[in-house]
């Protein structure tokens, strides 16, 4: 791949000395810590974030394996499709509109449910301030509002340590005291999710996890996905519905439901652990694919899936580039939860660390070459065999913003 892209890389200039990241002064740091005492501030050197704006055809290649991207100063390598899409991902709402919305919300009387429970609903502006306090230039994703759909057709029926059903239950139990208490979703071993459930979960979450077989878009209707609009705050249609006339005793229940509805930004992070085949899933999907047109099947490829999700407003997309195995997806799921939920790393740092973790250690390769002379000769003919940056280590990649952090 290095030789293939050499004419292009020669036109680019890369500096060996990366610019130093902006550090927070002690005074500003103390002010930010005192501003939000409930959220501990972190003054961490984030390193350099590298975003690749490549052609759609080049997206099929493991671009993260390029040698110049493995500088120690680079903490994240992500992808995007254009500057316009990148701008739309980081664009924030107009502050004047936020002030008007806050003024209207302040005039609304508090309901009995708010007074009893003492609930506090953060606006999008307050949430963005909190995210800047946690880490400079980072966007927060509420960890308590994850939604998931796992193995929707129950194609991995063997209940072993690498099946999606087993892994999701293990993660829900492991991080029960931190964030997973309020996670909601559907597991295929219980029942097959309907299209309405897909739409409801994806439209009412801060992040969405799909963990299953075959292609992600093969399970949902593409026209329904394109019609979704994820950026911005959750629409308050439920609250307006509570003001409509209704029989006695029912209006109060509807009003309480509107208060507890998720009011944060919709589906900022999409995690896709798909592209796994089992015998049941392959037989089922092959029959369904015979009824689809070629143009329809082309939209279900990994790159096209990332494009469609980006157009609907998803800020960050974690997904496989090629087909993988249940074992590797299970390890990736464990690593993602440990890094995002426990360690508090950003999406870019998480994918970067995952790719390093999946890279084979060089000493093990060298030991094998010592034992087998023929293999050593072949390796000398093809130096890429000795490289630590194997393409399979970069199967799981990040599209979109690398500075999302789960709180």
Q: Does the pLDDT at position 169 exceed 50?
A: yes
CA-CA distance, 61 to 191, in Å (whole number)?
37
For 330-377, the pLDDT digits (tens) are 999 999 999 999 999 999 999 999 999 998 765 444 444 444 455 544
- Average pLDDT in the chain: 78
Most confident of 1-5, 251-255, 293-297: 293-297
CA-CA distance, 79 to 120, in Å (whole number)?
36
CA-CA distance, 260 to 163, in Å (whole number)?
33
Q: Does the pLDDT at position 192 exceed 90?
A: yes
In the structure, what pLDDT confidence band is assigned to residue 85 with cuts at 50, 70 and 90? Answer: very high
Could you tell me the pTM of the whole model? 0.76
How far is residue 388 from each of residues 5, 32, 65, 360, measured CA to CA in Å? 19, 41, 9, 6
Joined together, the tokens standing for residue 367 give 């030991």
- What's the CA angle centered on 206, arms 204 and 208, to 5 degrees? 80
Among the listed residues 393, 405, 225, the one whose alpha carbon sits nearest the alpha carbon of residue 324: 393
> Hey, is 351 helix, strand or coil?
helix
Predicted local distance difference test score (pLDDT) of residue 290: 95
> Hey, is 165 helix, strand or coil?
helix
- Burial of 162-184, coded b for 16+ CB within 10 Å and e otherwise, reads bbbbbbbeebbeebeeebbeebe
Tokens 């110049």 correspond to what residue? 68
Among the listed residues 353, 357, 331, the one whose alpha carbon sits nearest the alpha carbon of residue 344: 353
How far is residue 186 from each of residues 6, 53, 169, 254, measured CA to CA in Å? 47, 35, 12, 24
Predicted local distance difference test score (pLDDT) of residue 170: 96
Burial of 382 by CB count in 10 Å (0-12 exposed, 13-18 middle, 19+ buried)? exposed
CB-CB contact of 302 with 331 (8 Å): no
Mean pLDDT, rounded, for 290-295: 94
CB-CB contact of 41 with 29 (8 Å): yes
Calculated CA dihedral for residues 155, 160, 163, 168, nearest 10 degrees: 130
Beta bridge partners of 400: 316
Q: Does the pLDDT at position 50 exceed 50?
A: yes
Among the listed residues 212, 189, 198, 194, the one whose alpha carbon sits nearest the alpha carbon of residue 326: 212
Most confident of 69-73, 84-88, 147-151, 389-393: 147-151
Predicted local distance difference test score (pLDDT) of residue 258: 41
Q: Does the pLDDT at position 261 exceed 50?
A: yes
- The count of C-alpha atoms lying within 13 angstroms of the C-alpha of 119, restricted to the half-sphere facing its C-beta, is 18
């Amino acid at each position: 791949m290095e030789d293939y892209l050499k004419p292009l890389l020669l036109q680019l200039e890369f500096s060996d000395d990366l610019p130093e990241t902006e550090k927070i002064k002690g005074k500003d740091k103390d002010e930010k810590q005192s501003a939000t005492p409930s959220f501990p501030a972190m003054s961490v050197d984030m390193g350099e974030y590298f975003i690749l704006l490549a052609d759609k055809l080049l997206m099929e290649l493991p671009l993260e394996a390029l040698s110049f991207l493995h500088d120690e100063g680079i903490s994240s390598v992500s992808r995007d499709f254009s500057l316009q899409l990148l701008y739309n991902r980081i664009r924030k709402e107009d502050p004047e509109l936020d002030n008007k919305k806050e003024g209207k919300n302040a005039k609304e009387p508090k309901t009995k449910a708010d007074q009893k429970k003492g609930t506090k609903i953060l606006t999008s502006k307050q949430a963005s301030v909190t995210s800047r306090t946690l880490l400079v230039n980072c966007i927060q994703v509420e960890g308590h509002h994850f939604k998931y759909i796992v193995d929707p057709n129950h194609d991995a029926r063997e209940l072993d340590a690498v099946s999606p059903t087993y892994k999701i239950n293990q993660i829900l139990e492991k991080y029960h005291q931190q964030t997973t208490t309020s996670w909601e979703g559907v597991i295929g071993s219980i029942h097959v999710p309907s299209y309405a459930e897909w739409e409801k979960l994806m439209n009412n979450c801060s992040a969405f996890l799909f963990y299953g077989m075959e292609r992600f878009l093969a399970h949902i209707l593409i026209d329904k996905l394109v019609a979704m609009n994820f950026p911005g705050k959750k629409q308050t249609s439920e609250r307006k519905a509570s003001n409509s006339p209704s029989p006695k005793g029912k209006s109060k229940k509807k009003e309480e439901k509107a208060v507890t509805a998720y009011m944060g930004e919709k589906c900022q992070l999409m995690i896709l652990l798909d592209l796994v085949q089992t015998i049941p899933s392959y037989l089922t999907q092959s029959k369904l694919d015979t009824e689809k047109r070629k143009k329809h099947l082309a939209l279900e490829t990994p790159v096209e899936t990332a494009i469609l999700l980006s157009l609907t407003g998803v800020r960050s997309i974690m997904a496989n580039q090629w087909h993988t195995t249940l074992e590797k997806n299970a390890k990736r799921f464990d690593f993602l939860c440990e890094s995002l939920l426990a360690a508090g790393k950003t999406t870019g740092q998480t994918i970067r660390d995952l790719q390093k973790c999946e890279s084979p250690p060089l000493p093990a390769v060298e030991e094998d070459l010592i034992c087998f002379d023929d293999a050593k000769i072949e390796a000398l003919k093809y130096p890429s065999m000795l490289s630590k940056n194997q393409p399979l280590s970069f199967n799981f990649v990040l599209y979109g913003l690398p500075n999302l952090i789960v709180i």
